[in-house]
A = this chain, B = another copy of it.
Amino acid sequence: MTTASSMPAAAQGLVNSHARRVFNYSAGPGVLPEEVLKQAQHDIWNLGGTGMGIMEHSHRTPPYDRVLAEAIEDCRTIGGIPKDYHVLFMTGGATSQNFLVPANLLGQDETADYLTTGYWAERSFEDARMYGRVREAWDGRPTRHTFVPSDAEIAWSERPTYVHMCSNNTIYGTQWRHADGSIRLPRIPEGSFLACDMCSDIYSRPFDIRKFGVVYAGAQKNVGIAGVSLVIIRDDLLSRSPRELPLMLQYRVMAKEESRHNTPPVFPIYMSGLVFKWIIKQGGLAALHARNVEKAGLIYDVLDRSTFYRGHARADSRSLMNVTFRTPTAELDTLFVAEALRQGMDNLKGHRATGGMRASVYNAMPREGCKALADFMREFERTHG
């Protein structure tokens, strides 16, 4: 039931105590690829023969220059990020991007449209209020955030500077997608640009960055660990300056100074670099997407064939990253989570907003983890259904 314990000891990394690892369905910080963890174990002691660990290197030395340059280059390669976009590593989480986007990009007399498709989208909307005229062009609250809207359902403002969306709603388990799982985008008003919170599905499937003005994501789900956020922003937006801001809060300062206006979060950035290399080794986003479709499919297939489980998300908006479902009763939900834990499957309890269960199956969740959960779900239904 675990990935690690069935591997030869030598392949289990350098640690021989507590080597048994569980399947971790945490919504974030989430599971990391095991080969990334093993590389980190080495580099913590001595990075590439430099005689010091990655955490002990100054951010103004050639070894860190390489770490940063490779992270940015690999990030560009994976996402097909062209030269006229900057790749930034920032701190403060995606939560800070909620105010940094309007603070940097929205004039006090301008309008921004928000597509409120979940909890974090609500938060993005709330945090933007102090910076300009912000409107909800779609409000998913009345329908309990069970789906994301079609173009016909969105009521645009006349001239929004930008449209804010959240591509995957971690808590509710919905995602902007076509039937094949590829990314679907709203048709936004002419002259406006898309600002996208991509926290929980960035680099889990291909997307065309040219459709966006700015994309941001906390790293701790698909591209690294907590403590750094990836921001990809179109260069022409860097010249906007709607208000006076401290240097640390300006995208243009971060862009000009290569994400090291101050001491950056060296180790979290290094970890994103390792994950980028891992993604490339997996075959890139198309290969990961195919795998993610199959992985989530194993679990959704159980839901579709069951009268016992109910999914939260409407079928056309189902997330490939976060699968939300419940049994007929809260008591059985609790039993499900406890029994799964005993079998080596952790962090399946759903968010209090939805109740039930949530299985987060990010890039680093192996297919075996989805298979194990699907098998367990069928078994649990046989016993308790």
Contact = CB atoms under 8 A, between A and B. Distances in A.
Interface of A: 2, 13-15, 17-22, 24, 26-32, 37-38, 40-42, 44-46, 48-53, 55-59, 61, 91-96, 98-99, 103, 127, 130, 218, 220, 225-228, 244, 246-248, 261-268, 271, 344, 346-347
A346 B52 contact: yes
Q: In the complex this chain forms, how many copies of it are found?
A: 2
Contacts of A30: 56, 58
A382 to B, nearest CB: 26
A52 B28 contact: no
B267 A21 contact: no
Contacts of A271: 55
14 contacts: A14-B14, A18-B46, A19-B45, A22-B51, A22-B52, A29-B55, A29-B56, A29-B263, A40-B44, A50-B346, A95-B248, A225-B267, A226-B264, A227-B267
A192 to B, nearest CB: 23
Contacts of A99: 246, 248
Given A14-B41, A19-B46, A130-B244, 18 more contacts: A2-B51, A18-B45, A22-B51, A29-B55, A29-B56, A32-B53, A37-B44, A37-B45, A55-B225, A91-B93, A94-B262, A95-B262, A99-B246, A227-B227, A227-B267, A227-B268, A265-B265, A267-B267
A11 to B, nearest CB: 12
Contacts of A38: 45
A21 B220 contact: no
A92 B91 contact: yes
Contacts of A22: 50-52
A58 B29 contact: yes
Which of A20, A27, A58, A264 has the most C-beta atoms of chain B within 10 angstroms of its own C-beta? A58
A51 B93 contact: no
Given A24-B56, A248-B95, A44 B45 contact: no
A232 B19 CA distance: 37
Contact of A347 (B24, B40, B58, B92): B58
A59 B28 CA distance: 8
Given A13-B45, A53-B37, A91 B227 contact: yes
A265 B264 CA distance: 12
A58 B227 contact: no
Contacts of A50: 22, 346
Contacts of A31: 52, 56
Nearest to A220: B263
B29 A46 contact: no
A98 B204 CA distance: 37
Contact of A51 (B51, B92, B96, B344): B344
Given A29-B57, A32-B55, A228 B226 contact: no
A287 to B, nearest CB: 23
Contacts of A45: 13-15, 18-19, 21, 37-38, 41
Nearest to A345: B51
Contacts of A26: 52, 56-58, 61
A130 to B, nearest CB: 6
A108 to B, nearest CB: 13
Q: Which 8 A-B pairs have the closest CB atoms?
A: A227-B265, A22-B51, A95-B262, A18-B46, A91-B91, A99-B246, A14-B14, A15-B45
B226 A267 contact: yes
Contacts of A268: 227, 265, 267-268
